[in-house]
Every structure is written in C-alpha cells, then in structure tokens.
Amino acid sequence: MKIFLKGLGLLVGLPTVAIALFFFWASASTTEQQTYADVFEYDAPAPAVKSSYTIVSYNIGYLSGLANNTASKPDRSFFDQNLQRAIAALAAVSPDIVGLQEIDLNAKRSYQVNQVETLAKSLEMSAGAIAINWDKNYLPFPTWPPAAHFGRILSGQALLSHYPIEKNSRIVLERVADKSFIYKAFYLERLAQVSQVSLDGQPLVVINVHLEAFEEGTRVRQTRFVRSLAEEYAQTFPVIVIGDFNSALNRPSFVAADGKTYQESQFSIQEMLASDQLASAVLEAQWNSNLTFPSDRPKYKLDYMFYTPSTLEVLNTQVLSAAGESSDHLPVMTEFRFKASLSEL
C-alpha cells in the first residue's frame, strides 16, 4: 500500500512541479529592467532648421497586419512586406517624430527582428527611445494551437526622432485588478512613455500611450491619469499626447480576437476632451473622417493626438492610408509649429 501511495504521489506531484517550474520560467523577463527605457543614437544626416514639424503616431501591431493577436502564424516574407509598406508610407510624409505602439524588439512572433532599430535606420532617424511593456521568456498565447504561441517576447512602445531625445521614461499605468494570478503574470503592462525632444533647441514633451483594450473601468482611470500627467507637463512645456487610446465614440461594443464581446459605455476618450489645457489635433466633429481601425475597412477612431493650444499650433492632420494593412491600425500624422509667443513664456 505504501508503495502504491508513493507512486501515486509521484504521478501527481511531478507534473505539478513541472507545470510550476514552467510557469515561473515562462513568465520571467528576458532583459534587465534598467534597459526598459533606453535611448539610442543612430548615424543619420543632421536635420535642417524648420519652422514646422511633423509627428506620426502608429500602432504598428508588430507588422502582423490583420493577423494581429490571432492564432494565424504568417511567414517571414509577410512581415518583410509589411515593413517595406510601412516604411514607404512614413517616409512619404518626412516625419520628424514617430511614436509607435506594439513594436517588437526581439520577439519570436516577428522573427527576432528589432523593429525599432530597423525603422529608425530606414527613416534615417538620429535618435530612438523605447518603453518596454511585454518581456516574457515564453508567452503561451494564443491558447491554441501551441504552434501559434508567441513564445519569447520583447515588445513595447518607441519614439523615433530626427532631433535629440534628451529624456525618456516609462510610467506603468493601473493594471486590471479583477483577473487571475496567471493572467496578470503574462499580461502586458500598459504604459505612458514620456520623452523630451529638442526641436532646434525648443523642448517638446511627447507622451506616447497604449491604453487598456478590454476592461473599461481600468481604461477610464488610465485616461484620466494620462490627461492629468499631460496637464502637469503643460505647466512647463509644450506637450503632444499620442497613441492608441482603445476608445471610439461610435463603438459601444466590439468582438475581440479572443471571440469575446466587450462593452464601452463610458467612452473613455471623452476624459481627454474634458481637459481645458489640451485640444484634439482633429476636431471631434471630424473624427468620423479620420478613422484608423481596422486598417482594411476603417470604422473607428482609436488613435489620437492631443496638444497644448497655448503653445502649439496645428497646421495639418491626416490618416496615412498608404500604410494599408501593414498593421490592423492606420497611422495618424499632424504637422505643427510652436507659437510665436512661446519665447515669452
């Protein structure tokens, strides 16, 4: 009897230990956390002195197109084609600053390409700054089939610039509370990346965000925090807030890649509209003509830019439809200039 019980214990215990060991290994990070907000310099031509500047915000979806976060496993050539199309669309507007969300640095799902460095060099940017929000040894997502698992992942947000990036930091936003321990161990961190760029000697603070997609209450609170953060910086600097806010006024519900239906009743993007210090680069009345998602047939505006009208003037905005289905989002572009009275502040 003792031998039987011992054997049964081993039969039950060994798989449990193996699962536990796999969990702790898989959910562990692959990179030193002190590098999560690094700034890089690249060899590039010196920019000309300009009177206006162009900034682009792009949820690049790790160049997975409409296969983003699905069980589909596109081949390497698919990613290469999306990269070239994205580069061409961005280069066509000669951006001075590019803010990116969902960009991989060395991830199995995108064939270990450092997409930040590749884009920076292709666009002849002289500086880049990162904010890592997903760093796991092995990500068992999508759940099935295992062959489609993301595996090792290093991903996040980034800012590319023709001009020096003098400061860069990452602020981890509120996490979804009502989730299991395992979910929290593998889920990405939602961030506000705060970068100070020197445009011909004039400082500009760019806040690059990628907010919670599924839990509305958390997203509302994240949006309020981002607005407060931008308003605080606006006391000292011109500010532009860019990114994927995961909120659209015309989307009361949506079906995600996991097949579940999620509701939006509070429309968290309205928290940004409530600010008396920030303005949308596109008037709210024109949002329906500036749709960004999904990229094949845009129905919703999830990607926004807000700026400080006391210090900046917006000259032009547009959605860059030429990017096509390189991502499931389309990039947005704004041309702006500093107000003449800025030197008097």
Q: For the segment 50-69, what is each residue's pLDDT rounded down to a tens digit?
A: 999 999 999 999 999 999 88
Give, for 98, the enclosing helix (H) or strand (E).
strand 97-104
Mean pLDDT of the chain: 91
pLDDT in tens, 272-291: 999 999 999 998 889 988 99
Q: Residue 293 — very low, low, confident or very high, per pLDDT cuts 50/70/90?
A: very high
57 and 88 together in one domain = yes
Q: What is the mean pLDDT of residues 257-284?
A: 90
Binned at pLDDT 50, 70 and 90, residue 113 comes out as very high
Is the predicted pLDDT of residue 5 greater than 50, yes or no?
no
* Residue 67 per-residue DSSP state: G
What pLDDT, on a 0 to 100 scale, did the predictor assign at position 8? 43
Segment 209-225 shows an average pLDDT of: 96
CA max distance for the chain: 89
The domain total for the chain is 2
For residues 161 and 20, state if they share a domain. no
Residue that wins the pLDDT comparison between 3 and 288: 288
Residues 305, 289: one domain? yes
pLDDT above 90 covers a percentage of the chain that reads 72
Whether residues 150 and 273 fall in one domain: yes
Domain check: are 302 and 335 in the same one? Answer: yes
Do 43 and 109 share a structural domain?
A: yes
- Report CA 25 to chain centroid distance, whole Å: 26
Measured between alpha carbons, how far is 256 from 273 in angstroms, rounded to an integer? 26
Q: Indicate whether 344 pLDDT > 50.
A: no
pLDDT-based confidence at 259, cuts 50/70/90? confident
Average pLDDT over residues 27-31: 85
Pairwise pLDDT comparison (30 vs 189), residue with the higher score: 189
Between residues 163 and 183, which one has the greater pLDDT? 163
Q: Is the pLDDT of residue 166 over 80?
A: yes
Closest listed residue to residue 165, CA positions, set 213, 212, 116: 116
Q: Are residues 192 and 165 in the same domain?
A: yes
Q: What is the model's pLDDT at position 46?
A: 86
**Would you place residue 341 in the very low, low, confident or very high pLDDT band (cuts 50, 70, 90)?**
low
Q: Lowest-pLDDT range, 41-55, 73-87, 228-242, 248-262? A: 248-262
Are residue 15 and residue 70 in the same domain, yes or no?
no
Q: Which domain holds residue 318?
A: 33-344
Rg of the chain taking only CA atoms, in angstroms: 21
3-state SS, residue 299: coil
DSSP assignment letter at 87: H
Under the banding of pLDDT at 50, 70 and 90, the label for residue 195 is very high
Q: Average pLDDT, stretch 239-245?
A: 98
- Residue 112 tokens read as 């270990």
Mean pLDDT of 161-173: 97
Q: Domain with 309 in it: what CATH number?
A: 3.60.10.10
Q: Do 132 and 185 share a structural domain?
A: yes
pLDDT on residue 19 = 73
Residues 21 and 87 in one domain: no
CA dist., res. 183 & res. 190, Å (int): 14
Are residues 75 and 5 located together in one domain of the fold?
A: no
* Residue in this structure with the two tokens 């270990």, named with its chain if needed: 112
pLDDT at 345: 46
| Residues 108 and 25 placed together within one structural domain of the fold | no
pLDDT at 13: 57
pLDDT (mean) for 236-247: 98
Are the C-beta atoms of residues 72 and 310 closer than 8 Å to each other?
no
